[in-house]
Structure 1
């Protein structure tokens, strides 16, 4: 062994052999020495040199105050003190390398096993650090992309809201135009009916004010109400034989129900369902609700408005001349259909419609939910008669 305890080989041979620097190998070698020093085959000089390397790596050059006081007869203490003094100004890294080389020489396989375990631990630690770094970089990229997407979504949402606002305005404009046309048509009906007061008088013998709606046990509804609004109608008059005239043509009673009903939509489902004039009923799944509306004077039309909650519904209207039957019957004649069945998006828009009768009778409003096997439908409706 040379004066400084180092061999002539490279000062850091453990990096090539074990993938560990001397700084990393020294704690492993020191732990192995403390664990197995009673079982290692060390000479007296090896023990003194290991002690000297340890003190040099821990405190640096020889410091008398760090060396234990030994008497003349303390041969071991004096020898270890001299070994530390002989290291002189050896650097701490060189002292650690000397300690590791001496442990490799004296412990052999135990040192090799400890170094390989430390190498595996280092590799696993570095792998965990790489994984953690990649995960941090991935999260950073995702956050950047999320911020970018949020900015794009805000722009798209703003554009979508603008489109919806334009659509609402267009619907409101169309609805206003329809109301103006209906108002003008209604004023035209009043003028056409003026020359035939006798016919109107014969058909107006029954009072027009009746009681409010009531439900029946069979799931049907009969609706009677006072005049609240106006609607377009055909110019009609009555003849003495029970027929009805349209213009200059006479229409027999059998063809009265063929006149199609008017139907349109308007926005404002939420406001409509919250209004006090609406009644609420439920149509069970795979079932149909019928609402009967008697008309006892030709000077009135029937109007309907309805909306549903969350889902659509199929809707149709029939007109039957004559008196409302005492017993509720659900057998209907397609020939009396004035509005063909159709599925309407009544959960998105309020469905409105009207029809002008040409002789006394009653209407049947069909709310058909037979196509839905899972969901019942909640309907808010308002049916009324008006001149």
Structure 2
């Protein structure tokens, strides 16, 4: 008896071992008892001792200890009954829960078919639960679908009711306008016959309503077509304007151009020259492609702008052109940029590049007009010198500012600009690195004109 109690006390509670069985203790014991009653002596053979213990466990689980039950006396030759009571008595005072655990444990150890039997029942139960949940889900979806259909049906009925109400209101309004005419016409057609007159009036009113609706739909369609045509015409104008703005750029580049600034021009000389129009500047992102094309010779070229230097690219106006375009970018760092226009015929039609440092430009009064004295590339210079001009400057061609000098972040994207010819002269494209004390800049640039 002590061995049996020790065995049961050391057992884990099977109802909590979900990873092994996945059952509650009561359900598992119920299935174990059914298996024993169905299979014992038929498909499964148990030893006599195991049968006695299984019967004792089942009695203990059902009634409790043998001392708490009044049992009838046994016959003199009932050996099996006496052995079963002895086995039951040996269980002592173990609880019903421990008795169920003992029954399951003993059945599992003595019969290899028990565990597969329980697993099969478990799978069947899970499949039934899954099917039940699936049916419940489908039922819920069906109910939701029916509810949504009912809502849509109500909305559709309400819409039809509103449309019918609007139709009746419109018909009533039209009938009030035409009733006198239609009645007079009906009286002439069917004199003395009110019924035929009423039928004819209703037919005329219905026909008039349909004609009115056809005219209304035709008018709406015409207005929509007009709006569409206006939009297409507007888009065509915008596209033509973009193409005319730069005939040398591809449509893709034109679509990426972002106009960033319009610089106000100022006259630098007397009133004898016309005012300078505003220049257009924008950017495009394909900087690597641009540098590759320039490096391959598809453009003016590459210039090394030293620290403290100012590079001036002189571009004469072309007799067959009407607009100048420029593109430039740098490696790694920004650079100052501005555009000026020198009035008068150039002695050469070639593009020239002049390089000087800021000190040379300030001291060289005999070679060219002082343009950079009044330019602050951080705030934008206008290229106009203050005070009286030097003796040499009086004989130099007048110069007008087109784009003030500003620092441009051309290391990030390609800066592009255009300016319509104001007349005959030379464009001065200034690339200013005078503010940099240590860094030189690699400049990629390209200039061209259009007709």
Name the TM tier (shorter chain).
Answer: 0.3 to 0.5
- Higher helix share goes to which structure? 2
Q: TM-score, normalised by structure 2?
A: 0.38
Q: TM-score, normalised by structure 1?
A: 0.43
